[in-house]
Copies of this chain bind each other. A is one copy, B any other.
Amino acid sequence: MLALTILGNNSALSFKNRHQTAQILTTNDQLFLIDCGESTQIQMQRYQIKKNRINHIFISHLHGDHYFGLPGLLNSYGLTNRIEPLHLYGPPQLIEIIELMQKVSDSTFGYELIFHPLRKAEAILDLPALTVSCFPVSHRIPCWGFSFQEKRKPRKIDIEKVDYYRISKNSLTAIKNGEDVLNELGELILNEKITTEGMPPTSYAYCADTLYDESIIPFIEGVDLLYHETTYLDEEREKAAQRFHSTGIQAATIATKANAKKLLIGHFSSKYENLDLFEIEAKTIFKNTSVTVEGTTYLIDKPLR
């Protein structure tokens, strides 16, 4: 199971209590930060995000509303004596900016910052619990989406069944490894009879800032939760295209064509006070749509089969 917490749902110009883009994806044991607009640190405090559990930060592109909160966050890790290395994924020039800021401040972070430049669609992180890939989206400057795919969890041993089939406890490791085993009577017991399925793996795709672009579909096909930007309502479709952004109808169309299970929309222009209109618009195409709400956590899970 994954969970996504929205720290900012607005586009570049701040609007009342809406903040620039930042999201936290949570697995059991760690947090991933996706984009880091100005004030992300303050939003983390507000929503009690344990920022020391973040070891991987993903920056989609170098428009300020997606990374101006990063330098301050990196500094804060240093000031709070972070020891763990921190992995940062983003466009190659991101590290130039950070290094220049470090140079002029005559500072070091005090922890290891490991930068991973994004250059092509590929797997960029492989952890025991999940993999992360990046894929290009269509924006005015190079911009990346990120896809998070949980790995299938091992089946769980059903200890009552192990007893029922009179299997020696010495076989538990073999069962755990998925093997069929012999019981005390010399009968072969199939692994699936003595184990149950683990929680089904789930997936999340973040499509950053992008034009309507069907070429992203192969990268997000069948995803459990899709985040797609909707800076404008469809009545502003032309302006959206000029500015390399999308509308509610367009996001919902992508979700439909990609067979996504659920759609979250965000990156709203400050001109809109009433965000319900975005949800109403998108739902005409893709019913399972929600407007992102700051501070809200969306669970990404699947029923056991």
Q: A12-B75, A14-B76 are in contact. Are A105 and B39 (CB under 8 A)?
A: no
- Complex interface bits, A135-158 against B, C-beta within 8 A gives 1, otherwise 0: 000001100000000000000000
| Contact in complex: A41, B38 (CB < 8 Å) | yes
> Count of chain A residues with Cβ under 8 Å from any Cβ of B?
35
Q: Does A69 contact B (CB under 8 A)?
A: yes
Please tell me which stretch of A60-68, A115-123, A178-186, A195-203 contacts chain B, meaning at least 4 of its Cβ atoms lie within 8 angstroms of it: A60-68
Tell me, yes or no, whether A222 is within 8 Å of chain B by CB.
Answer: no
Residues of B within 8 A of A100 (CB): 93, 96-97, 100
B106 & A97 in contact (Cβ 8 Å cutoff): no
Q: Which residues of B contact A12 (CB under 8 A)?
A: 75-76, 79
The copy count of this chain in the complex is: 2
Which residues of B lie under 8 Å from residue A75 when comparing CB positions?
12, 64-65
- How far apart sit A80 and B15, CA to CA, in the bound complex (Å)? 12
Tell me if A110 is interfacial: C-beta within 8 Å of chain B: no
Q: How far apart sit A25 and B38, CA to CA, in the bound complex (Å)? A: 24
Contacts of A64 in B (CB 8 A): 71-72, 75, 101, 105
Any B CB within 8 A of the CB of A248 = no
Tell me whether A114 is interfacial, beta carbon within 8 Å. Answer: no
Contact for A104 among B41, B69, B91, CB less than 8 A: B91
Interface string of A240-271 (1 = CB under 8 A from B): 00000000000000000000000000000000
Q: Does A13 contact B (CB under 8 A)?
A: yes
- A39-B39, A68-B68, A68-B71 in contact; A141/B13 too (CB < 8 A)? no
Task: Name which of A16, A20, A38 has the most chain B CB atoms within 10 A of its CB.
Answer: A38
Bound form: Cα–Cα A12–B71 in Å: 12
The smallest beta-carbon distance between A268 and chain B, in angstroms, is: 14
Contact residues, A69-114 vs B (CB, 8 A): 69, 71-72, 75-76, 79-80, 91, 93-94, 96-97, 100-101, 104-107
Contact A141:B105 (CB < 8 A) given known A39-B38, A69-B38, A79-B13: yes
- Whole-angstrom distance between the alpha carbons of A79 and B63 in the complex? 12
The distance from the CB of A284 to the nearest CB of chain B, in whole angstroms, is: 30
The reply to whether A42 and B14 contact each other, CB–CB distance below 8 Å, is: yes
CB neighbours of A63 from chain B (8 A): 105, 107
The residues of B that contact A215 with a CB separation of less than 8 Å are none
- The answer to whether B141 and A104 touch across the interface, beta carbons within 8 angstroms, is yes
Instruction: Point out residues on A near B: beta carbons under 8 Å.
Output: 12-14, 16, 20, 38-39, 41-42, 45, 62-65, 68-69, 71-72, 75-76, 79-80, 91, 93-94, 96-97, 100-101, 104-107, 140-141
Give 13 pairs: A residue, B residue, CB < 8 Å, sorted on A.
A12-B75, A12-B76, A12-B79, A20-B72, A62-B105, A64-B75, A64-B101, A68-B68, A91-B104, A96-B100, A96-B104, A97-B97, A106-B141
Of all A-B residue pairs in the complex, the 4 with the closest CB atoms, nearest first, are A62-B104, A93-B104, A38-B72, A39-B39
